[in-house]
Amino acid sequence: MAHHFYQLKEAIQYRINARHHKGFGIHSPYLFHLITSVLQEKYPFYCFKPIESLRKKRFNKHSIFSPLKKAHSGQIIFRIIQDAKFKTLLELGTSSGIETQYMAFANQKARCISVTDSDESAAVAQKGFQIQGLKQIELHLLKSEEMPETIIDKLENLDFVLFNKIADPQKYQDLFRKCLCKRENGSIFVFMNMHESPCKTQAWENIRTHQEVQVSIDLFDLGIILFNPELEKKNYVIRNK
């Protein structure tokens, strides 16, 4: 209940602080394109309907994954990957597999890896991948003492990382620092549900102010980190609904 009131307070604060609707006040051509043509784009792509149809069929209000993440979060993830044509995609903390599907559909030639330590999440996600015919997704179910860092170590580089179902705020930050070693100029990291608890919000603050981060974008449901040395260091709170 305490977290519910905290999230409500954070949502109100977000509404007060949100700016740059339709890109107003954004001077960088790169950021203007990202915000107006990617983050705020509403055009529905071919895969959106089957993904959301599967979401409605498989998960109801009594699901362990309730409340269901809003469709727009997954669709923003899709648009970011498709626009940048990223080739190495990593999801840390598989949830229901819905976000993973958006990642995989965005570039079906990309390497798409999803990591979880939950047997239940893995089973639900894998079934969804099979229904959608997404054979290219590499789903890693961690063994009892295996850590996600071992998967990261095996990757040459990371274009896109989604930090999804990670309950521990400290782990949130540890994995971010681990992924920094594999990021490149132009890489984008996305964080889910940064405002769900005070500890998670503080973790987000620590991440977005990290010395290697140039730009952070707060969409409330999603936090976006950009690695581009040509950009001025700044945090944007963007109205996106």
User: Can you tell me the distance from the alpha carbon of 40 to that of 224, in angstroms, rounded to the nearest whole number?
Assistant: 14
| Tens-digit pLDDT profile for residues 174-210 | 999 999 999 999 999 999 988 888 899 999 999 999 9
DSSP symbol at 214: -
Q: Which pLDDT belongs to residue 68?
A: 45
Q: Which pLDDT belongs to residue 27?
A: 82
Question: What mean pLDDT comes out for the span 227-233?
Answer: 92
Q: Which pLDDT belongs to residue 58?
A: 73
Q: How, if at all, do strands 158-163 and 88-92 pair?
A: parallel
Give me 125's structure tokens.
């996600």
Residue 238: which of 215, 221, 218, 224 has the closest Cα? 218
| Tens-digit pLDDT profile for residues 92-115 | 999 899 999 999 999 999 999 999
User: Can you tell me the distance from the alpha carbon of 225 to that of 204, in angstroms, rounded to the nearest whole number?
Assistant: 10
Q: Which pLDDT belongs to residue 64?
A: 46
Q: Which amino acid is at 22?
A: K
Confidence of residue 156 (pLDDT cuts 50, 70, 90): very high
Decide if 116 contacts 122 (C-beta within 8 A). yes
| Tens-digit pLDDT profile for residues 44-64 | 899 999 999 998 887 654 444
Q: Tell me the pTM.
A: 0.91
What percent of the chain is modeled with pLDDT above 90? 67
Q: Is 46 helix (H, G, I), strand (E, B) or coil?
A: coil
Confidence of residue 66 (pLDDT cuts 50, 70, 90): very low
Decide if 92 contacts 174 (C-beta within 8 A). no
Query: Which CATH code, of 3.30.70.270, 3.40.50.150, 2.40.10.10, 3.90.700.10, is assigned to 2-59+83-237?
Result: 3.40.50.150
Q: Which pLDDT belongs to residue 118?
A: 92
